[in-house]
Structure 1
Amino acid sequence: MATIAVLGTLGTLDTKGPEHGFVAERIRQHGHDTLLIDVGTAGSPQIVPQVTRHEVAASIDIDLDAVLARADRGECVSAMAEAAPVLLHRLYREGRIEGVISLGGGGGTAIATAAMRALPIGVPKLMVSTLASGNTAHYLGSKDITLMPSIVDVAGLNRVSKVIFSRAAGAICGMVDATIDADDVRPLIVASMFGNTTDCVNAAIPVLEKAGYEVLVFHATGAGGRAMESLIESGMVAGVLDITTTEWADELVGGVLSAGPQRLDAAAAMGVPAIVVPGCLDMVNFAARDTLPSRFESRNLYVHNPQVTLMRTNVQECRELGKIVARKISEYTALVTVLVPCLGISALSGDRQPFHDPDADAALFSAIASELREDIELRKLDLEINDPQFAQACAMALLENIHRHQRVDA
């Protein structure tokens, strides 16, 4: 029997108490326990929670009464969105919950998904929301949250909402009950890949697998980079094969595939051995050609497909990217090696390719070398990034860093 957190706004003015109570009862009918957590801020709870809103707020020392007295809905939602993740993570860490479900509109979805994002990947998380359509990236973050459309507003029990809520209760119970195949106990390596670095990563994977590792590949599309960083933060990762750091080009220049300013931070924070390559820092990603900002019209452009337009980074941008990447890497505490493919950092930047720009590459490489911490190894190889020899060098450098790290910890 598992305990599933039912997280919601349970007050009379929040009008979500009976709905969450209904879901809790359906979960109990499936044979599981529930832990009702009140994150509401309007009116008194319609059903008795097992964790009160004041207990939620106290998890980060918020004076909830003072917040309520100001009667600012935005401040109330923000306070609970800050406190609920801390509480939910603690409950999971203490073994008191094994999954979480919530129902809500705008405020409820913001609070509940913030809390869900605090839980590790693999913990069942289900959000029944009026907002489960369109752009939901800010609710999901890099976590495996399942969004289920509520169809009707979460405002009462009726012939439609009862069906949706009953199915949702069955879904979260099914997630919790699902058995996990734990036969593969190989340590994990995460790798970043793009279409323009696919051959490199694909050639490195067999080397790492032969050495006894399982390799998880993340597409460097912003969401992929954030997901990879999140998995590194979970403590599950033994090594990082960061071939494709292209998301930093989008972050700096304003492309559509940025992973945010925290990209490259997780390996440093967690002390995970790594190799880092300036893969695809020669390109910034935009959508269809006609969506390109007018200020970039005169730049070197490559239409990858009708939905994707690539722009070559120039000397100034490459110089700044080199500084950023080197400064990030210089924060690493575990062993890290920087490998530079001097003859092409993507499939498009080699000799006679559309993005071949020796001056921009030189600015990038020089900035990395000048800003990198002196004790970090920098290898410049006269190879293109997708050359099998470069892939082999990356894989072997990572294995060496992992093995040396293990010897230090032993």
Structure 2
Amino acid sequence: MAHIAYLIGTCDTKATELGYVRDLLQESGLDTLVVDVSTSGAPTTVADISARVVAESHPDGAAQVFTEDRGSAITAMADALERFIKGRDDIGGIIGLGGSGGTALITPAMRSLDIGVPKVMVSTIASGNVGSYVGPSDIAMMYSVTDIAGLNRISRNVLGNAAHALAGMMKGTRVDIIDDKPAIGMSMFGVTTECVTHVKDALDSDYDCLIFHATGTGGLSMEKLAGCGMVNGLLDVTTTEICDLFMKGIFSAGDTRLDILAQRDTPYIGSCGALDMVNFGPKDTLPESYRQRLIHTHNPHVTLMRTTADENRRMGRWIGEKLNLSRGPVRFLLPEKGLSALDAPGQPFHDPEADAALFDALEATVTQTSQRRIIRYPYHINDPRFAEKLVQHFQEIMQ
């Protein structure tokens, strides 16, 4: 299979910069393809793959791209580019150049590629909040410093660094990659670390344990890897991102969390880790409607709010409906003595009634079968005996 560096940008406005990066990559010994994603319809000379060829990948045809409305044109070209990229089998790495529009256009195609395929996005907005562009992927964002509007003493340096970074990623060998054990995904938060550590220690000899911090992108990344077959099973101990989805906290993974269960038959063990808390920023950023609630300052940057019985019922029904769509074996374990380090006797979030509302809603919603089960245990989530049960059920369904 060829090992080609794809350069993506709007050739009607950035031909000089794309040509400069192309030349540097070729000097590094890489084959290149320049892909034009212009929406103006203007002819260019630097592109190896024209904008019209890319636009023809749009499900409704190229006419959807070449409109007089810039916003809809960029949206349509982004869709076309993602489909075009998915149809290629010779991509060794991708580098994109763009402003706000170009970044929004190019990064969805980058996100569609597997983790590990080199991806560098040189962008005028890369010094800001780039979470929506990177998502659960491994895109390297590089701030262009000056606008991408010609070559100068600054842009030559930045674009040169980007080109050499991509070349290094594509040409470098990763001798430490070991594929002799199946990989599994595990979700963890600080307040469930004790549980997940016990589970990891018990499974380490047989599995490559990939632990994801349940901060929104963590859950998305874990499920992205499951979706492309890069993990063989999931131990989703910490589903706290669902709290932030419902109560608009800062660590939501969005409403697609757990959709992977309906998409693939990946063996799944889940639990209620940290479903007792919603995450917000510094205390003074807490929404006014929540300021009279039970609050705990986790650190100067994170403020936690205890979930109520009503909120837990809603989350239990939502999780249960997702579990009901599962294609593979599912076990969802309920720790009756508490959901996190803060939800234990003597701790600020200890609330057995609120937890019981969650458990009852799950049991009432889930249609249990031999493949899909809800199981209660009289342990706290960080009790080693609960970790042993997680391991036991995981080993059973992996067989």
* TM-score interval, smaller chain: over 0.9
Q: Alpha-carbon deviations, 1:115-149, whole Å to 9, x = none?
A: 11111100000111111111010110110001111
1:139 aligns with 2:136: no
Shift of 1:353: 1.8
Alignment of 1:99-248 (within 5 A): 99-181=93-175, 182-210=177-205, 212-248=206-242
1:349–1:26 CA distance, 2 compared to 1 (3 A): same
SS of equivalent residue, structure 2 residue 195:
helix
- Is the 1:18–1:46 Cα contact (8 Å) retained in structure 2? no
Q: Which runs of 4+ in 1 moved over 4 A?
A: none
Distance in 2 between residues matched to 1:21 and 1:106, nearest whole Å: 21
> 386, 390, 395: which is aligned to 2:386?
390
Q: RMSD in angstroms over aligned alpha carbons?
A: 1.4
| Percent sequence identity over aligned pairs | 44
Shift of 1:397: 0.6
Distance in 2 between residues matched to 1:384 and 1:159, nearest whole Å: 60
Alignment of 1:294-305 (within 5 A): 294-305=288-299
Q: Does 179-188 or 58-67 show the bigger shift?
A: 58-67
Shift of 1:46: 3.0
Shift of 1:66: 5.5
* Match in the other structure for 2:31: 33
* Count of matched residue pairs: 395
Alignment of 1:6-405 (within 5 A): 6-11=7-12, 15-65=13-63, 67-68=65-66, 70-91=67-88, 94=89, 96-181=90-175, 182-210=177-205, 212-375=206-369, 376-403=372-399
Distance in 2 between residues matched to 1:331 and 1:234, nearest whole Å: 19
Q: What amino acid sits opposite 1:300 in the alignment?
A: L
Shift of 1:306: 1.6
SS of equivalent residue, structure 1 residue 163:
helix
Q: Does 128-137 or 36-45 show the bigger shift?
A: 36-45
- Is the 1:268–1:333 Cα contact (8 Å) retained in structure 2? yes
SS of equivalent residue, structure 2 residue 184:
strand
**Unaligned ranges ≥5, structure 1:** 404-410
Distance in 2 between residues matched to 1:89 and 1:9, nearest whole Å: 19
SS of equivalent residue, structure 2 residue 87:
helix
* Match in the other structure for 2:4: 3
Q: What amino acid sits opposite 2:398 in the alignment?
A: I
SS of equivalent residue, structure 2 residue 11:
coil
Distance in 2 between residues matched to 1:160 and 1:51, nearest whole Å: 28
Shift of 1:45: 3.5
Q: Alpha-carbon deviations, 1:173-193, whole Å to 9, x = none?
A: 111011123334210011000
Shift of 1:367: 0.3
Shift of 1:166: 1.8
Give the structure-1-normalised TM-score.
0.93
Q: Does 76-85 or 53-62 show the bigger shift?
A: 53-62
- Is the 2:184–2:232 Cα contact (8 Å) retained in structure 1? yes
**Unaligned ranges ≥5, structure 2:** none
Distance in 2 between residues matched to 1:272 and 1:174, nearest whole Å: 34
Give the structure-2-normalised TM-score.
0.96
Shift of 1:67: 4.2
Q: Alpha-carbon deviations, 1:30-77, whole Å to 9, x = none?
A: 111111111111252432422221221111234334642x41111111
Shift of 1:2: 2.8
